[in-house]
Amino acid sequence: MRLCFEQDRLLAVMAHPDDAELLCAGTLARAKRDGAAIGIVVMCRGDKGVGSSFTGADLARVRQEEASAAAEVLGAKLFSFNADDGELFDSYGVRKQLIELYRQFRPTLVIAHAAEDYHPDHRAASTIAEAATWFAASRGHVTESPALPSPPKLWLADTINATGGLEPDIYVDVSDQVELKKKMLSCHRSQLDRGGDADFSPLSELMLRQCQLRGAQTGVSAAEAFRWHHAFKRIGAF
């Protein structure tokens, strides 16, 4: 059996500018190769990701440029919500903004952070992304665009170093996409430069260890893991 995304439109809803590279860019790249349309939503500006060597005045602008360059490597459309780091909260206003984006992009599959994730911004993004997938198909939630005919499927992304107790349902073989993940990650210079800081885990190591760990569990060199959104009316049959 082979997973094929040919007919799909994938939208990753991530908290920070480099999260997609760590958790789901290989899957996005595979889907792109199959012919799917790909979008990445970045909810926070990344403005607090300051390393000891950073001397720039406007980190948020730098990180926006880095995210744009990485999305270009993948061939994905980038959407930015521009919340300050640490200030992303679930509210009806943010939900409606994302509902409208879903209605315009029309994803068949949304990839969001898991509720078990270590980072508060990731958990907030997860809650908002999940709520918006459901309400995007509800005519009662009025935005500029009409409601979707049905909610998109929702996969919850892995957690860093497989912490938090997330039990994956799906493993996607991304062995052929590791180089592209590296290339995308290399766009995030402001964060790679933090690799020597004692309070920061080097991103390249994190990314490689993550996909090699999931690959080792499934007999391939690299994989990305996801969990279904196990909810009434949301779990799909294939």
DSSP 8-state assignment for residue 8: -
Which residue's CB atom is positioned nearest to Zn ion? 16
**Helix/strand number for the chain, H first, E second:** 8, 7
Cα first-last separation, the chain: 12
CB of 15 or CB of 185, closer to Zn ion: 15
Residues 6+ apart with CB under 8 A from 127: 90, 115
Q: In angstroms, give the least distance from the CB of 144 to Zn ion.
A: 29
Q: In angstroms, give the least distance from the CB of 49 to Zn ion.
A: 8
CB of 36 or CB of 42, closer to Zn ion: 42
CB of 15 or CB of 40, closer to Zn ion: 15
Q: In angstroms, give the least distance from the CB of 236 to Zn ion.
A: 27
- What gap in Å lies between CA 80 and CA 67, rounded to an integer? 9
Give me the residues that bind Zn ion (CB under 5 A), please: 15-16, 19
Q: In angstroms, give the least distance from the CB of 206 to Zn ion.
A: 11
CB of 148 or CB of 157, closer to Zn ion: 157
The encoded tokens of residue 76 equal: 């994905």
Q: Are 49 and 85 within 8 A, CB to CB?
A: yes
